[in-house]
Amino acid sequence: MPATLSPSEAPPVTSTGGGDFVTLPPVQGGDWHNPGGDRVVQRYKLGVWIGMCGILMFFAALTSAMIVRQGLSGDWVPVAVPPVLYVSTLVLLVSSFTVERARREAVAGNTEGLRRWMNCSAGVGLAFLAGQLLGWQELAERGLYLASNPANSFYYLLTAGHGVHLLGGIAVMGYVWVRIRASRPWPTRLAVVEATALYWHFLDVLWIYILGLLMFWR
């Protein structure tokens, strides 16, 4: 049901630094899928929640393929997780905090803070990906390539699959950066930031799962 909001009640457009920013009033009443809160923000976040289900099915399929493949024949040689992954895991956890900080800055309407913390998160995200590359390099130095062994195949696939999704998140952060610099008004800014933060936390949890899988399901 649309928000009860007539044009006369529409909030004023307040200029905050680089981009124009509209604070949307909470929906009166609301219903189960939109319990109060900002309508567009809720819609974007709902989109991310739904998207998560799709992504989870992708990784569930890889997981089941991995478990089945491991049980099939005797050619499975477990691969030890490169230690650099523990560092990059910490890095990713840190990025969840920076993203959360960026989100709060956005809620507070602080464009400068949003920009700073969003850029910071993108940087930390890239650092995580660099760590993943180091992990691949270490495996390659051990002589373990994509096709050397099914265990390695799944190691590369799972990390790459997660990395691609993370790159998507970083791309959105770049988009946020571009839109903040542009002078056009950006009514969906808060929604995009909230959705990005949610997505990023999801990738964080997803990575913990993948790491656990690689460590304990060898």
- Kindly list the residues in this chain that would bind another protein in the complex (CB under 8 A): 1-7, 10-11, 22, 24, 33-34, 39-40, 42-43, 46-47, 50-51, 53-62, 64-65, 68-69, 72-76, 146-147, 150, 153, 157, 187
Between 59 and 177, name the residue whose CB sits nearer to another protein: 59
CB of 201 to another protein, least distance (A): 18
CB of 72 to another protein, least distance (A): 5
Q: DSSP class of residue 11? A: P
The nearest distance, CB 30 to another protein, in angstroms, is 12
CB of 181 to another protein, least distance (A): 20
Give the residue with the Cβ less far from another protein, 24 or 124: 24
Task: Considering the complex, state which of residue 117 and residue 200 has its C-beta at the smaller distance from another protein.
Answer: 200
Structure-block tokens of residue 127: 């650092």
Alpha carbon 87 to chain centroid, angstroms:
18
Can you give the chain as a three-state secondary structure string?
CCCCCCHHHCCCCEEECCEEECCCCCCCCCECCECCCCHHHHHHHHHHHHHHHHHHHHHHHHHHHHHHHHHHCCCCCCCCCCCHHHHHHHHHHHHHHHHHHHHHHHHCCCHHHHHHHHHHHHHHHHHHHHHHHHHHHHHHHCCCCCCCCHHHHHHHHHHHHHHHHHHHHHHHHHHHHHHHHCCCCCCCHHHHHHHHHHHHHHHHHHHHHHHHHHHHCC
Instruction: Write down the least CB distance from residue 15 to another protein, Å.
Output: 15
What does the alpha-carbon distance between residue 30 and residue 20 come to, in Å, rounded to a whole number?
27
- Cβ closest to another protein, residue 24 vs residue 92: 24
Least Cβ distance, residue 33 to another protein (angstroms): 5
For another protein, the closer of residues 44 and 128 by Cβ is 44
Measured from the CB atom, the residue of 131 and 150 that comes closer to another protein is: 150
